[in-house]
Every structure is written in C-alpha cells, then in structure tokens.
Structure 1
Amino acid sequence: MPTPQSRRERPAKPALTREGIVDAAVLLMEREGLQRVTMRRLAEALDTGPASLYVYVANTAELHAAILDRLLGRVDLAAHSGADWRERLNAVLASYEQVLFAHPALAQSALTARAAGKNYLALLESLLALLAEGGVPDRQAAWGVDLLLQRSTASAAEHSAQREDSHAERDWAQLRQALATASPDTLPHVRAQADNLISGAPAERRRWSIDTLLNGILATGPGPGPRTP
C-alpha cells in the first residue's frame, strides 16, 4: 500500500491567472472538444474548485469567448501583403474562416459569442484599415466589418457542421435530385435555375459573396445617424 504523501511535501500548485485559465481551456478544447469546456470540467483539469475560476471568468459563455479570442491570434493579418486591398481583405477573411473551420464547435459558438479581447480588436483594426485603403467611408466601413465577419462566421459554421455530419453527401444528393425534378409548372424558376443553384466551386462562390458585400458596402450609406434630444 503506497505511503500517503503529506500535503506539505507536494509541490505547490501555480497560482491561478486569467491567462493560465484560458491556456488550459484551449488545451482542453483541443483534446476533448468545446462542449466539454465547462467551468466544472476546467476546474478538474486545473485541480481546483469551480468557485476559484469565477474570480477570473464570469461564466462558461465568457470562457468560450476568451477561447475564441485566443484562437483569433492565429488569423494571418498580413496575408497576401503587397496585393490589392480587396485581395488582402479576402485573404484575411479566408484565414479567419480557416481558424474557425479547424474547430467546428467553436465555429458554431462564434455565431453568438462576442469576443472583445486584443486579438479580436487586432482583426477589426486590420479589416478597417483595408476598407479605409479602399476608400470606404468611416461609418460604412464600421458597419461593413460586422457584415463581413457575420458572413465569414456563418460560412465557417455551416461548413464545419457539414464536415461533422456523416450524412452531408447524402443530403447534397437529395437536394440535387429535388432541384432537377422540380415541377416546371409550380416551380418554374427553381427548375430553370436548378444547375445554377448548385454551380460554382466553394472558393468561387465565397469570393463572389465577399465582392458582392464589398460593392454594397462601398455604394450604400447607412443613412442618418441617431437623433439627438
């Protein structure tokens, strides 16, 4: 029977910090998935009690937002440096999508999580600088960044979900069949556009959607500001 070890003889645990907690949360997510990153499970991994974590992180939602912000540090903000501003903006958004795509559950969480850390702010700065370089007026750029990130986040979440779904190819086959056999009498436009609706490589459709948003952001003012009393 092993001899009990005195608590005094055990090495002291490192002091908790927010940075250390987020580090541990990222490692836990990469090992077990985001759904397992709860305050209780993280406390077990850190050999402490959940109450100790609440000093640094308010709840699981804030923890997931902190994980998201940490991973945003992997976005390549200098992608395609030297290229046209549209090319560079497209490359930054593509890198952002790849970071989310690598972590399917995080991509889904990013639809509602509101990151506000240094890496999110650095991403905003990069996108705003590129829009300014393209001559986009300030307010249109500020609103446009939100629209561009929403589109990229939704795209990453959609494709991450498809990657995890073992029935994704079957679902696409069913959609193709439904479009091809749509009634020309009751669904004439769907039948006529059946091929176009599923045409184009993912990269082509992605680039077209970003160009469409950029053209709209450049051409469309947000209207008058809020009224003052």
Structure 2
Amino acid sequence: MTTPRSRRERPAKPALTRAGIVAVAVGVVRAEGLHRVTMRRLAQELDTGAASLYVYVRNTAELHAAVLDELLGEVVLTTEGTWDERVAAVLGSYAEVLFRYPGLAQSALVARPSGRHYLDLTETLLALLAEGEVPDGQAAWGVDLLLQRVTATAAEHVVAQSEEDWAALGSAVRAVSPETHPRLAALGDDLTSGDPGERMAWSVRVLLSGIAATPTHPQTNLQEKP
C-alpha cells in the first residue's frame, strides 16, 4: 500500500520565541525604521496571528524596549583617554546609535530596557564615574541624567531641528532690537553656534561637573530662625 503524499507545500513554521520575535523586529527597524514595528506587521513576517505574539511580549512598548536593548549592542563601550573623555565617547556612540535608526530616540525617552546590553552600558558608565572618584550615590543618579540628556538631544534633532529650522532661528535672533532684547541681541550668534556634536559634548562635561559636585541629599540648615 502506497503512503499518501502530504499536500503541505511548505515546511512547518518554527516555534515562536521571544528572541525570535525581537530578532524579526530588529530586522524591520534596520530596513524600514521603528515606526513600522507593530504587532500586526510582525505577525505577517512570522506568518502567525497578532494574538500569538502577546504570549511572549505584553505590548508594543515592551517590544520597543527589547528592540532598543538589542540595538544598544552597537554602542562602543571600550575607548581611550581620561575617564571623562571616555564617558563622553561612550555617550557619543550611544547617540550615534539613536541617530542611526529613525524613531529610536523618541522611543528611548519612555522605554525601560532591562536586557544585557543596557546593563553593560550602565555598568561601563558607573565604572568610569567611579574611576573619576564620583561618589556612589551621585554616580547612580548621574547615569540616568546623562542618558536622559543624550536621548532627549537626539530626539530633538531628529524630529525638529533641520538646517532650515536653525537658519530661521538665527535670522529671528539677529533681527531683534538691542533696545527691547539687549542680552538676546548681544548673544545671538552664540545661541545658535556649534554643531550638535559640539553642543552635546559640552553638555556632557557640564553634567559631569555637576554630578561630581552635587550630593544627592544635600544637608539642610535646621537652625531656627532668630
């Protein structure tokens, strides 16, 4: 007796996994941008129903956080120079990753990644701050402040700050009257000077100085007023 031939024209689909879903999402980001990463789109790529994905990823926000963590693997953590120069270099590499993938910076403002690449980035920054003798408590809060600043700067420039925007701002500032806006007129060129990289590097130096000098719980004056 001849065994009936299967009518199935394609091999069985591989089993769904969280890692597999994130890998497909990262592929979509690299090719088309984060805005194209939706549960519906991933379901199409994986040849399954969108409801099946929620077994492994609770929602789109969690998916974006996982994608962000995966892409953080591209941040260069090993650099040369003084400790503060290396902090600036690591954060600069982080910024480059955000610029590289449209929409990633905006997502990073609210995403809370907790994967190994985020932990590696945080560990590297904490070690560098310790090398610079920044007190532990200030370093712990400072890492969050540094990452927020770089993320917000990247998001700002991706969304709104085109060359035309800067030119329009510069024209408006130069047109003000010294009589009504004396300080603005005096500092107009400085307000719009420097490229994004220079301004970001300066902001990192400012933050490092402040983090090192500012206790997280400053002593308050408890003396009674006379």
TM-score, length basis structure 2: 0.90
Paired AA for residue 24 in structure 1: V
Deviates more, 1:13-22 or 1:196-205: 196-205
Is the radius of gyration larger for structure 1 or structure 2?
A: 2
Q: State the Cα distance separating 1:192 from its structure 2 match.
A: 1.0
Root-mean-square deviation (Å):
1.6
Paired AA for residue 118 in structure 1: R
1:174 maps to which of 138, 154, 168: 168
SS in 1 for 2:103: helix
Paired AA for residue 216 in structure 1: G
Q: Residues 140 and 221 of structure 1 are in contact (CA less than 8 Å); yes or no, is this contact kept in structure 2?
A: yes
Runs (4+) of structure 1 exceeding 4 A deviation are none
Q: State the Cα distance separating 1:169 from its structure 2 match.
A: 2.4
Give the structure 1 partner of residue 65 of structure 2: 65
Give the structure 2 partner of residue 109 of structure 1: 107
Alignment identity in percent? 63
Give the structure 2 partner of residue 124 of structure 1: 122
Structure 1: gaps spanning 5 or more residues:
none
| Residues paired across the two proteins, number | 214
Q: State the Cα distance separating 1:182 from its structure 2 match.
A: 0.7
Deviates more, 1:127-136 or 1:25-34: 25-34
Paired AA for residue 182 in structure 1: V
Where does 1:41-52 land on structure 2 (aligned, <5 Å)? 41-52=41-52
Q: Matches of 2:87 and 2:47 in 1, distance apart?
A: 43
Q: Matches of 1:216 and 1:121 in 2, distance apart?
A: 24
Q: Matches of 1:188 and 1:26 in 2, distance apart?
A: 50
Where does 1:8-23 land on structure 2 (aligned, <5 Å)? 9-23=9-23
Deviates more, 1:127-136 or 1:28-37: 28-37
TM-score, length basis structure 1: 0.89
Q: State the Cα distance separating 1:93 from its structure 2 match.
A: 0.3
Q: Matches of 1:201 and 1:159 in 2, distance apart?
A: 11
Give the structure 1 partner of residue 131 of structure 2: 133
2:144 maps to which of 140, 143, 146: 146
Structure 2: gaps spanning 5 or more residues:
1-5, 220-226
Paired AA for residue 147 in structure 1: L
Give the structure 1 partner of residue 177 of structure 2: 183
Q: State the Cα distance separating 1:118 from its structure 2 match.
A: 1.0
Q: State the Cα distance separating 1:170 from its structure 2 match.
A: 2.3
